[in-house]
Structure 1
């Protein structure tokens, strides 16, 4: 990465508000990595959900982007099933692993309180709740799942850097599956007003700076030997593959998962130096999701990468 790029990245972090609970996050993260490295297990960091861009330091308003976190949550379940330990870096309030079969709104529909003494799971949701609780508890108990929440672009990028540098010595057995929708633009912290912007001041003009491309520094400095998958979402299918191919070459990631907004739940295209592969959900199985087949392919590619790294 050029020194100009490095300067932009350094400037972003130096001007960012300090990460809350950093010592607690580091303690959890290092303990999780230590437990899994001693067991010889592969570790993947799955990022999930969208980042917010605050408009005030004491934030009332913010700019958000579209991401439910479904892709990251479903990918996490599949990685755990494939034997990985997962650091799940997720936007607070978005979809969680093992919760996809539960009602989103209102969640309390799952429960009933018939005798005013014991809360019970409603019969229509017993199986889904039982599986969600068992799978989640098993993953956490076996040190296979560590969940770390973020909200803002500042929190996300600081936490991603912590995770990447903590995994640096883990080498080829580590992976980054970067499914989060990361803001391209932000309001620099130092140029932001402290208090709520007053509506009586008239029309609001906001100048947004470009978020430095952290993918470059992740690949070259933070965790250069890790296997790295990035994502490209577009609403125009005509430019999708071209944009994904450019990202593959620019950032030197191992694959880019290209998904078009309207068809993203049915199929994606995995773009890599060995060619493009269309991955679809199994349409003959109603419960099938595209992540089942996507993660199977990525795990296979990661295995090949590890073997090649050791020869």
Structure 2
């Protein structure tokens, strides 16, 4: 992999445990679709990929087959799967397996730890970086008693990972972040605000209700709207 361009792809959401011996936790929803599909494209254009991903999130090439077990059939001594494009996906996964490193995380703490470790590897490498969806809140460690009546949580802001990525870990990288909003009117202003605050190159923005069919690419001085098709997603 020497002298090959490198993509650090961070995919999926993080969770914050509410107890040291965790029974309850706060999570944010992210299946990792954007991260997994981005990793596929980087592999196809000859990048090596470090894929830092949430445990059980979608992964490159297998992302389109999350319920594959339901499609298996037994024919004599063989197990058969007739899902469309499954053969192509397996061939691609096999072809690129030497160029992708999978690193799973679960909690915000494990994500931040691996973020530092990945950064130390890719610091001197030509890197294109995609940012995942870390949870913005962290909580102090405490034991929750169900008999204690009403539960009140005080949430503290967790440091934004992208600030550390841009300014400390890989300052020479081309960094792309994602911005999800529920109010379309604030999406572009918030994306531009992130670009100004953190100094990275691109924000891929979308609205919760239309996130699977429409995105907007936001740069410092331009925007581009993209409607996604079934083939491209």
TM-score over 0.5 (shorter chain): yes
Cα deviation, residue 167, structure 1: 1.0
Q: Separation in 2 of the partners of 1:248 and 1:217?
A: 14
Q: Is contact 1:80-1:139 (8 Å) kept?
A: yes
SS at match of 2:85: helix
How far apart are residue 77 of structure 1 and its match? 0.9
Aligned to 1:244: 191
Q: Equivalent residues in 2 for 1:1-311 (5 A)?
A: 36=1, 38=2, 40-102=3-65, 104-105=66-67, 107-115=68-76, 118-122=77-81, 124-125=82-83, 127-140=84-97, 143-170=98-125, 173-178=126-131, 180-188=132-140, 192-193=141-142, 197-281=144-228, 283=229, 286-289=230-233
Cα distance in 2 between the residues matched to 1:148 and 1:130: 25
Q: Distance in 1 between matches of 2:103 and 2:211?
A: 25
Q: CA offset at residue 280 of structure 1? A: 2.5
Give per-residue Cα distances to partners, 1:113-141, cap 9 Å, x unaligned: 343xx44123x32x53322222112111x
Aligned residues: 233
Distance 2:231 2:204 in 1: 22
Query: What is the CA–CA distance in structure 1 between the aligned matches of 2:75 and 2:217, rounded to whole Å?
Result: 50
Larger Rg: 1
CA distance in 2, matches of 1:267, 1:67: 17
1:277 match: secondary structure = strand
Query: Helix, strand or coil: the match of 2:91?
Result: helix
Q: Residues 85 and 60 from structure 1, CA distance in 2 versus in 1: closer, same or farther, beyond 3 angstroms?
A: same
Checking the alignment, whether the CA contact within 8 Å between 1:111 and 1:119 is kept in structure 2 is no
Residue matched to 1:32: none
Partner-residue secondary structure (3-state), 1:134? helix
2 CA distance for matches of 1:213 and 1:67?
17
1:218 and 1:69 map into 2 onto residues whose CA distance is: 19
The match for 1:15 is: none
Query: 2:14 is paired with a residue of what secondary structure?
Result: coil
Supply the distance in 2 between the matched residues of 1:111 and 1:101 (Cα, whole angstroms).
15
Report the secondary structure of 2:195's partner residue: helix
CA contact (8 A) 1:101 1:128 kept: no
* Distance in structure 2 (CA, Å) of the matches to 1:224 and 1:268: 26
The structural deviation recorded for 1:101 is: 2.9
Q: CA deviation at 1:267?
A: 2.0
Displacement of 1:98:
0.7
Q: CA–CA distance in 2 between the matches of 1:69 and 1:288?
A: 16
More strand, by proportion: 2
- Alignment partner of 2:178: what SS? strand
